[in-house]
Chains A and B, each alone.
Chain A
Amino acid sequence: MTVRGPESEADGVARLEVEKVIVVGLDGLEPVIVEEMLARGELPNLARLRSVGGYSRLATTSPAQTPVAWSSFATGTNPGGHGIFDFVGRDPATYRPDLALNRYEQPSPFLPPKAVNRRRGVPIWSVLTEGGIRSVVIRCPCTYPPDSPKGRLLSGMGVPDLRGGFGTGTFYTTDPGVEPLEGEQVVRIEWPEGGGGTISTHVIGPRTPKNRSDTTSPITVEPLPGAGRAILRSEGTPGEVELERGRWSPWIHLKFRLGLLQSTRGIVRFFLRKVEPGRLELYASPVNFDPGAPLFPISHPDLYASDLAEELGPYHTTGMVEDHNALSNGRIDEDAFLSQCEDAWREREQMFSRELQRFDSGLLYCLFDTPDRVQHLFWRFREPDHPANLGRPPDPRYAGTIAETYRRADAAAGLALEAADDRTLVVALSDHGFNSFRRGVDLNAWLHQQGLLALLDGSHPGDASGTGLSRIDWSRTRAYAIGLTGLYLNLRDREGGGIVPAEAADDLKREIAEALTGLVDPQDGRTAIRDAVPRERVYSGPFLEEAPDLVVHYEAGYRASWGGALGETGAHIFEDNTKTWSGDHIIHPALVPGVLFLNRPFRDDSASIVDLAPTILEALGRSGGAEMEGRSLLR
């Protein structure tokens, strides 16, 4: 640790003597758990950071969501300054839900479509580039398509799978009764006649641009039930792999033809779940972009993704690496999911270590997002009375899984400490904390009950027919909800069927905010919503107009209901969350701060995630732009 005397503001930058900043992003680390584990001595590297520098809780964004918070980290602005307010948005003209992180544009019918990042603002690596300072950025959310810093960047959350989604796996089964569950495809296969022989089937690739039909790549599976194995053959590389029951296969590189001249490449892994006489169950991961030949660029420079693959082997490229749907849908079990998490950790540790070895100046950022996914799916094991455990008592083997993932996060911080010299600022932080998700709140059901939202004739709350907001009668609807915290007015001249005149908007917002604030769950009399706030009180900046009109902040244990987040109108305002996805963090930001560790003393009284950009820039001798709202935490 560098010992420094008192210094003035003016020469503070020079006296820091920092040449390198290493940022270890640990997605979703919850301060309560971190503090308990620190007290028990279970996080030695974070403890060391705390003792040489400091630790504090870190105020997060509203909403406390990964893409929102990391965009505020990167740009030093509230969401009004970078335009990422939620995973999900809507097209006001058509009320169609859309992905709010990025979109695709085709500038001319003759040119291929290109991805456009919806995160705006100026990320720190762009500020550093202007100053001639190098950055290496690994998997920061909302960096797809890749920014082009001086240095290298591998895109993170926002990168789709080859089907364009966040991750659509495929379940192959000989059971004719299996229907697809959420976010998956089911392919029925026939056990070979007479027992011997092979099953012919295919991997589902991207849709063709022409008619949106599925492209496929053929595979055959030869079951060997006696050995608990199967041989999978494809036209890809390797052409033949032996699948072992309960294990993930290595990556298989496949090619999908999109047209006479056009083809694209992907990588896929298989998990053999069951192989018994007459019965086969096989799961295929989402088909990831092949890092050696991605469908759209996922790195800067273009060849960086491919260099990493050549050096470290193929790796997950989708923004959400872990197959949470496969676990939620029961296609793979907890052990298979954790085995995949282990692979995700290892991949990221290898990338981080590779860059640490080459790192001599500037900024190195690496995100480890597995703690977030593990907590979403394993929170139920911390709470035996969680509704997700109804009828399936939690397996005690997984009671310590979340703690294990925190220890792994601590080890990642250790890699940074090991590589740091006395001219290195080490930052370890999480973007938000974590809490339980026990009860869902359906805002559209509430609006319906309040008479603010009407359904089309013949439709009733809770009807299964129709998707998203499609059953709403816009001519009689004044407000609607879609996304994880947002509520919108059906505003005239903005919404396609808007009826609320601009002059009535403020009163309506106030009326809804007052009614929602303190909303009580009749089941046990607990408060479900801490407050609902007009957007002007939460955000400021050039993209304010893109924000939901009202932001809803839930109390601990609550969250937007499953259907409500997609704009559906359920039969009930409150529902138990019985899904495997049992932990969440999209509640009042004050309830889910992140954690911050620095290897230098810092101003730890009211640290906020928007302070990180100015802190990193100051450490490297740069000042942030006028847009940056936070201030350096360095003392």
Chain B
Amino acid sequence: MKILVLGLDGLPGDRLLGDNRLVYVRLLMESGCFGHLSGDLPEQAEAFWRTLECGRHTGKDRPVRSSETLPGLLADEGSTTILITSGQSGDDPTASSRSAWDELLRRMASEPWSFARLVDDTPGRLLSTAGEAALDARIARFDDELPTLLDCLGEESIVLLIARDPTSAAFVLATSTGVAPGEVQDLRLDDLAPVLLAIAHRPIPPSMTGRPPDGLSPSGTEQDSDEQSVIDRLRGLGYL
């Protein structure tokens, strides 16, 4: 199982889910599920991404063990973990973003990886320094690069896209095993790590406060609602 997490820090959730120009993001949304995250969202970027990986809201109370975070829990023997954070204040945001994506692609293509995570803080920096047009251009590039990244996935894979800014966050989740398609309500930030572990058939450590929701159905799914299709299937029996 290969698990890819792409974080776009500083991009409002609506921009990820609502921008029809992002063709590949749309395709991922169509083959998987998506939604806005509900509940408390850390205002600070660092706390947000740490919560995502720990499956709980972490204070500074105690150190986080790697056996309690996604990279540690999802690592396979003999495989590598790719963790990249782009951008240092002072750099040219676009250049540092490009170099981070290039590194991600290079390592995904060459290493026997099982978990890869890129957090790109360029969107936030571009918005504050260069404005909407620069952000648009960068996001479009990001969408263009998605198919190349997806080509580096194996037969069994999970892709999680996250966009966040201090007041909102949204996700897109697609898997090779299939998830119920459509919009998901009421998913919280600390639920995401347990969800990924559940899809990967890994145990969820007790330290995680989030849970993969059960019984929660994405809106707009109708399974076998069409009586005629049920009857058509039954007719295949011969007896009917």
Residues of A within 8 A of B173 (CB): 110
Residues of B within 8 A of A562 (CB): 240
Residues of B within 8 A of A166 (CB): 233-234, 236-238
Given known contacts A163-B233, A259-B32, A111 and B212 CB-to-CB distance under 8 angstroms: yes
Indicate whether A606 reaches chain B with its CB closer than 8 angstroms: no
Query: Which residues 236-271 in A have Cβ within 8 Å of B in the complex?
Result: 258-263
Q: How far is the CA of A210 from the CA of B32 in the complex (A)?
A: 8
Q: Which of B223, B227, B239 contacts A96 (CB 8 A)?
A: B227
Q: How far is the CA of A110 from the CA of B215 in the complex (A)?
A: 11
Asked if B181 and A210 sit within 8 Å, CB to CB, the answer is: yes
Q: How far is the CA of A263 from the CA of B174 in the complex (A)?
A: 12
Asked if A97 and B236 sit within 8 Å, CB to CB, the answer is: no
- Closest A residue by C-beta to B153: A261
Given known contacts A108-B198, A109-B33, A467-B228, A262 and B177 CB-to-CB distance under 8 angstroms: yes
Residues of B within 8 A of A367 (CB): none
Q: How far is the CA of A240 from the CA of B67 in the complex (A)?
A: 50
- Closest A residue by C-beta to B231: A467
Indicate whether B133 reaches chain A with its CB closer than 8 angstroms: no
Indicate whether A497 reaches chain B with its CB closer than 8 angstroms: no
Q: How far is the CA of A490 from the CA of B212 in the complex (A)?
A: 39
B: number of interface residues (CB 8 Å): 50
Indicate whether B68 reaches chain A with its CB closer than 8 angstroms: no
Residues of A within 8 A of B233 (CB): 99, 160, 163-166, 168
Asked if A566 and B231 sit within 8 Å, CB to CB, the answer is: yes
Asked if A183 and B227 sit within 8 Å, CB to CB, the answer is: no
Interface 9-residue window, one of B23-31, B43-51, B74-82, B91-99: B23-31
Given known contacts A109-B179, A109-B216, A565-B240, A262 and B31 CB-to-CB distance under 8 angstroms: yes
Residues of B within 8 A of A165 (CB): 232-236
Asked if A109 and B217 sit within 8 Å, CB to CB, the answer is: yes
Asked if A110 and B174 sit within 8 Å, CB to CB, the answer is: no
Indicate whether A286 reaches chain B with its CB closer than 8 angstroms: yes
Residues of B within 8 A of A109 (CB): 33, 179-180, 184, 213, 216-218, 221
Asked if B175 and A167 sit within 8 Å, CB to CB, the answer is: no
Q: How many A-B residue contacts, CB cutoff 8 Å? A: 152
In the complex, which range does the number of interface residues on chain A fall in? 35 or more
Query: Which residues 162-218 in B have Cβ within 8 Å of A in the complex?
Result: 173-182, 184, 195, 198-199, 212-218
Indicate whether A405 reaches chain B with its CB closer than 8 angstroms: no
Residues of B within 8 A of A108 (CB): 195, 198, 212-216
- Closest A residue by C-beta to B157: A261
Indicate whether A341 reaches chain B with its CB closer than 8 angstroms: no
Residues of A within 8 A of B27 (CB): 260
Given known contacts A260-B31, A261-B157, A565-B239, A99 and B234 CB-to-CB distance under 8 angstroms: yes
Q: How far is the CA of A139 from the CA of B104 in the complex (A)?
A: 48
Interface centre among A163, A183, A566, A581 (most CB of B within 10 A): A183
Asked if A320 and B30 sit within 8 Å, CB to CB, the answer is: no
Indicate whether A470 reaches chain B with its CB closer than 8 angstroms: yes
| Sample of 5 further A-B pairs with CB below 8 A, known A168-B236, A584-B239 | A97-B234, A106-B180, A166-B237, A259-B174, A376-B238
- Residue numbers of B with Cβ under 8 A of A are 24, 27-28, 30-33, 150, 153, 157, 159, 173-182, 184, 195, 198-199, 212-218, 221-223, 226-240
Provide 30 A-B residue pairs closer than 8 Å at the C-beta atoms, listed in order of the A residue: A88-B234, A98-B230, A99-B233, A99-B234, A108-B212, A108-B213, A108-B216, A109-B184, A109-B213, A109-B216, A109-B217, A109-B218, A109-B221, A110-B180, A110-B195, A110-B199, A111-B177, A165-B233, A165-B234, A166-B237, A167-B236, A209-B221, A210-B30, A259-B30, A260-B30, A261-B150, A262-B174, A484-B239, A581-B238, A581-B239
**9 interchain residue pairs of minimum CB distance:** A259-B31, A166-B236, A165-B233, A109-B180, A165-B236, A210-B181, A260-B31, A183-B235, A183-B236
